[in-house]
A and B are shown apart, each in its own frame.
Chain A
Amino acid sequence: MLPCGRHHEIAYTAHMSHTRPDPDALLEKLQQEDARQQRGRLKIFFGSCAGVGKTFAMLTAAHARMQEGEDVLVGVIETHGRRDTESRLQGLPQLPLKSLIYRDKTLHEFDLDAALARRPGLLLVDELAHSNAEGSRHRKRWQDVEELCSAGIDVYTTLNVQHLESLNDVVGQITGIRVSETVPDKVFDLADEVTLVDLPPEELLQRLQEGKVYMSQQAERARRHFFRKGNLIALREMALRRTADRVDAQMREYRTDQSIQHVWQTHERILVGLGPGPEAEQLVRTAARLAISMKAEWLAAYVETPALQKLGHAERQAILDNLRLAQTLGATTTATLSGDEVSTVLLDYARSRNVSRLVVGKPRRPLLMRLFVPSVTDQLAKEATDIDLHVVVRQPKPRHKPAPQHSLQMAANAHLSGLKKRGYLWALAISAATSVIAGMLLQYFELSNVIMLYLLGVMLISIRYGRGPGILASILSVSAFDFFFVPPKLSFTVSDTQYLLTFGIMLSVALVISNLTSSLRYQAVIANYRERRSLALYEIGKELASTMTTQHIVEVSVHHIASLFQSRAAILLPDADDKLRAPEADAGHGHTLADVDLGIAQWTFDHQEHAGLGTNTLPSSPVLYVPLKAPMRTRGVLAIVPENRAAIFLPEQRQLLDTFAAQIALALERKHYVEVARDALISMESERLRNSLLSAISHDLRTPLTSLLGIADQLRQAPGMPADRHAQLETLYDQAFRMQQLVVNLLDMARLQAGSVQLNSQWQVLEEVLGSALRAMQPVSQQHHIEVTLPPDLPLLQFDAVLLERVFCNLLDNACKYSPPNTTIRISAQQHPGEVWITVADEGWGLPAGMETQIFQKFTRGQVESSQPGVGLGLSICKAIIQAHGGALWAEAQQPHGTRFIFSLPLGEPPAPPLAEETPA
């Protein structure tokens, strides 16, 4: 597997199987629609070639949108000096271009950051296939557009058919001109709208002649090369067909949506098997086209045999590029497999992935080989009994073939080449030594045994130094044997012709042995390398599993990555706001990454995509940024500065790096959840502690107060008490009672503050709770008239009756305290949309101006120095209780005098009332 390049998968939610209304597909559809809701809409003005009027059409559409009141902004428009286009541009606000200095030249580029900051409703970005100048955030403009859409900005853009990735080679074959600027088909397929801008070839040529398409000096050259009528017709057909395909896909999608024609067809899955040759690119494109036409999911795999592992860097890079191309073209998985037999490995993989069709290239091999050794394709055809085989005829493009390099990778490489030089010398030495020994032994042994001695030497050389020295040793051995031992001695001439057969057999045996042993050596080196890889993974896994702190995880990871990839590495972690922090100076290793750009790292973190060195985003940066993606979310970013850039981009290394990143991410996530669990435990503990403290305090305060009050009450009621004693006892009782009220209030406040009050919310009748509050407050409110007005149709309300009674008691107490005796306290309720307002109004002295909100603060009282008892907790308790119920409490001045306290309670959906039964008893 090569998960490194699955970048775009995230941006474009996988887009497959529109004909099958299975739940997954529907869910995906919903998710896509969700994503589209937030995403800006992308509209592509699509044309067969330059000059058909795409930009003009786009500008016209933009003018229309602007007249509708849309906030239109021109991001970048290429007018190519066309006059009518320029005139159409008038009146549209334009975003200034960004100036970039690249190799002493000033380039003007579309300013992505300015556009994101400006956030227009609709942005015009011409030429979707444009490649950005070096130093821009993205390599390609379509990536800019992608980011704009993700940010919720609508984008209009233009695109020519030859820039579509999958059609790129076909167009190249027709027109003879390959364009290097391509746009993945997914961008086109997932665009919200595609408008085909069509112009018949005759008219286009006419326009070209009139100089409307290119400025005159370019016109002639362009016409000769590209604007041939045959080309134009073909391009137009392709554009029309591609648009028609899209419409067709939309139609099918619609039918799936509407569940018209449920066709439960088996899901096609295509696997393309890639080889090392230059034809692989074409193979990928063919498979992509096949997959699109069949609406199938497709995978690409490259099988690496021991022989293929000896390929040079450039070829390996080409394979990697082709696998990447496959991803860009929509392959869901790309895999690098390894094994001895390509056909077996490929078929096994195909079966494990439920592949229904296998696409391979037609081999081009010399006639002789074809006769004796069956090709991979032949073997596949023989073995693939259950999988359809598509053999694609290859049209290799002339390509500079790099000189074959005998290099495996990294250590294996250097190791072997060093050995080889010495090997040739040893071949010489062993051959000479064998000749001397054989010369000495000849008097005792037969000539045939001398041959054996030489063979032994060849074998030893092959085992130790590989094929080259082995071959040299066998040739030297045969020559030496001939020269020294075969009569006539000390001459290469041979008297007995049967020795020629001896030479031949000796040479072939020597060659076979040297070949066998050297291939064994390669296998051993590869196995060794693989083992090192798994050992490295095992070790980092083991160490990460035992890490307890984030710091430790970072240290372990950086250490392993630094040694295994010969790189400097750093891990950037996000803070609570998901902003990455610069890595702390690493004391243990003594180096930090000075060149880490936090901006790029943040981008990597936010977009969960690779960025920097060798990727599609800011490739000119010296640092590679790898997102640490864990199952739940991205946990950070790994920044790497490789010493040897090539080493990190070998397929195996990339795969290993990605596996490492996944391991680190998992470790970070595990650590995160350990912390979450610990925090929860701590808060539970402190909650428990607070609660037990509160109940202990309340018990210790309440018990003495209860006895105090009880005894005072008992004494004051005792008969035969002198009047002055009785008055003292009354005071004692009153003070104890007030003390008790205060304790109750303080404890209530503490409880509410601690958030430990569990609402026992039930559907209640307001009148009932008010009734019990009034009864409880009777001793206090005796000197006031209380008037209650509740609407008869007041619905049930959901609240905690005990707490609400407390609110009423406190408000009544307050009203009684701050209004003169014999005035009226009015309690009423009104129904408002969504809530009920309950008012307690007195005819008292009213609140001092400006105190309307302050009175709800703890320990605040209307009058600072007042004869009224209380410390001002009542109202803040009321406020806390009402807020816990989702309501609000406020105070207003009452006309002509007095205060009105109003609190609101939300109306809910009351439960079903009991069944009506109206038969009187």
Chain B
Amino acid sequence: MSSTATIILIEDEVQIQRFVQAALEDAGFTVHSTPSGRQGVIDTGTRKPDAIILDLGLPDMDGIDVIRQIRSWSNVPMIVLSARTQEAQKVSALDAGADDYLTKPFGTAELLARIRAQLRRHSQTGNPTQESVFTMGDIRVDLVNRQVHRGDALVSLTPIEFRLLAALIRYAGRVVTQRQLLKEVWGPSHIESGHYVRIYMGHLRHKLEADPAQPRYLLTETGVGYRLLADGD
């Protein structure tokens, strides 16, 4: 992963744009900033960035539309910036194709961590040989043989629990909305049965986490979705 990666920052608030750009440039990224959604879409086409950081509240067009437009022809990682009370907005951004979100106010460390995670995942998807074994802490998930070990002990998972875990691993480090999980694990007909995911997440935590009430790996992003936090993220 190269630190000379190019990032487009679409943010209309000058102060925020300034400090984010400074933080990113300090970390060695090349940053192009624009206050307009339209310009952001054009820049994405011309500059071929490695990642996009996008504020949802833009003056000229809805941030969700920016995501949809870019996502229609590019799979560049997109991170949205959003306010704390706007969970619904975050969910729609994620469902529209955004890869992650950051809640304002956010720290530099958090911002950089998220960007690195996205860049890493993006470079991996280009690489077809995805690892068949995934580890987090003392948990080892063998995706080919569908076996899960915690320490030395084999953990027995039901087919749905395994499918859920596998889906989370596919999105490791990123946030997945409840809707995406329902669609991938239960199929499109169960999109409204939100409590299914919560119940099965509970099962998984009880089987995999040391303290299910204070999980280390299977995290809940309240109101938005879930995030599987593997080592190093």
CB-CB under 8 A from B162, the residues of chain A are 921
A913 within 8 A of B: yes
A702 near B195: Cβ-Cβ < 8 Å:
no
The CA-CA distance from A137 to B211 in the complex, in Å, is 77
Measured CB to CB, the nearest residue on chain A to B22 is: A714
A921 near B157: Cβ-Cβ < 8 Å:
yes
Number of A-B contacts (CB under 8 A): 140
Closest Cβ of chain B: how far from A404's Cβ, in Å?
A: 83
CB-CB under 8 A from B18, the residues of chain A are 707
Measured CB to CB, the nearest residue on chain A to B157 is: A921
- Fill in one digit per residue for B202-221: 1 if any A CB lies within 8 Å of its CB, else 0: 10010000011111000111
Question: Chain A interface residue count: which class?
Answer: 35 or more
CB-CB under 8 A from B147, the residues of chain A are 921
Measured CB to CB, the nearest residue on chain A to B106 is: A710
Partner of A698, one of B15, B83, B195, B223: B83
Partner of A768, one of B87, B156, B202: B202
CB-CB under 8 A from A760, the residues of chain B are 87-88, 223
The CA-CA distance from A801 to B91 in the complex, in Å, is 14
Closest Cβ of chain B: how far from A917's Cβ, in Å?
A: 5
CB-CB under 8 A from A717, the residues of chain B are 108-109
A740 near B105: Cβ-Cβ < 8 Å:
yes
- 8 A Cβ contacts from B50-104 to A: 57, 83-85, 87-88, 104
- 8 A Cβ contacts from B215-232 to A: 215, 219-223
B200 within 8 A of A: yes
- Fill in one digit per residue for A149-186: 1 if any B CB lies within 8 Å of its CB, else 0: 00000000000000000000000000000000000000
CB-CB under 8 A from A763, the residues of chain B are 194-195, 198
The CA-CA distance from A805 to B162 in the complex, in Å, is 28
A262 within 8 A of B: no
B43 within 8 A of A: no
B199 near A703: Cβ-Cβ < 8 Å:
no
Question: Chain B interface residue count: which class?
Answer: 35 or more
A920 near B157: Cβ-Cβ < 8 Å:
yes
- Further contacts, 9 of them, CB under 8 A, given A762-B195, A764-B198, A767-B205: A698-B83, A707-B13, A714-B26, A718-B26, A771-B212, A775-B214, A788-B214, A796-B198, A921-B148
CB-CB under 8 A from A774, the residues of chain B are 213-214
A-B contact pairs, 11 of them (CB 8 A): A709-B107, A710-B107, A711-B22, A713-B109, A762-B194, A765-B201, A768-B198, A768-B202, A769-B222, A772-B220, A827-B213
The CA-CA distance from A704 to B196 in the complex, in Å, is 40
The CA-CA distance from A910 to B23 in the complex, in Å, is 47
Closest Cβ of chain A: how far from B14's Cβ, in Å?
A: 9
The CA-CA distance from A60 to B205 in the complex, in Å, is 75
The CA-CA distance from A711 to B19 in the complex, in Å, is 6
A793 within 8 A of B: no
Measured CB to CB, the nearest residue on chain B to A758 is: B88
The CA-CA distance from A827 to B213 in the complex, in Å, is 10
Closest Cβ of chain B: how far from A318's Cβ, in Å?
A: 73
The CA-CA distance from A441 to B169 in the complex, in Å, is 132
- 8 A Cβ contacts from A901-918 to B: 910-911, 913-914, 917-918
B159 within 8 A of A: yes
B146 near A767: Cβ-Cβ < 8 Å:
no
Most buried by B among A709, A747, A790, A920: A920
B158 within 8 A of A: yes
A710 near B158: Cβ-Cβ < 8 Å:
no
B16 within 8 A of A: yes
- 8 A Cβ contacts from A687-734 to B: 698-699, 702-707, 709-711, 713-714, 717-718
Partner of A921, one of B158, B193, B223: B158
Q: Which residues of chain A have a CB within 8 Å of any CB of chain B?
A: 698-699, 702-707, 709-711, 713-714, 717-718, 740, 744, 747-748, 751, 760, 762-765, 767-775, 786, 788, 790, 796, 801-802, 805, 827, 910-911, 913-914, 917-921
B220 near A920: Cβ-Cβ < 8 Å:
no
CB-CB under 8 A from B160, the residues of chain A are 914, 917
Partner of B195, one of A705, A796, A802: A796
Measured CB to CB, the nearest residue on chain B to A773 is: B222
B15 near A703: Cβ-Cβ < 8 Å:
yes
The CA-CA distance from A911 to B186 in the complex, in Å, is 17
CB-CB under 8 A from A796, the residues of chain B are 195, 198-199
Taking A767-B213, A769-B220, A790-B213 as contacts, is the C-beta distance between A802 and B87 under 8 angstroms?
yes
A921 near B104: Cβ-Cβ < 8 Å:
no
Q: 9 closest A-B pairs (Cβ-Cβ)?
A: A707-B15, A788-B213, A920-B156, A921-B162, A802-B223, A709-B105, A706-B105, A763-B195, A710-B19
CB-CB under 8 A from B176, the residues of chain A are none
- Fill in one digit per residue for B155-186: 1 if any A CB lies within 8 Å of its CB, else 0: 01111111000000000000000000000001
B222 near A710: Cβ-Cβ < 8 Å:
no
B223 near A801: Cβ-Cβ < 8 Å:
yes
CB-CB under 8 A from A705, the residues of chain B are 105
Taking A710-B19, A772-B219 as contacts, is the C-beta distance between A914 and B199 under 8 angstroms?
yes
B115 within 8 A of A: no
A917 near B158: Cβ-Cβ < 8 Å:
yes
CB-CB under 8 A from A744, the residues of chain B are 84
A767 near B212: Cβ-Cβ < 8 Å:
yes
The CA-CA distance from A771 to B23 in the complex, in Å, is 31
Partner of B105, one of A702, A769, A910, A913: A702
B139 within 8 A of A: no
The CA-CA distance from A913 to B85 in the complex, in Å, is 30
Closest Cβ of chain B: how far from A570's Cβ, in Å?
A: 56
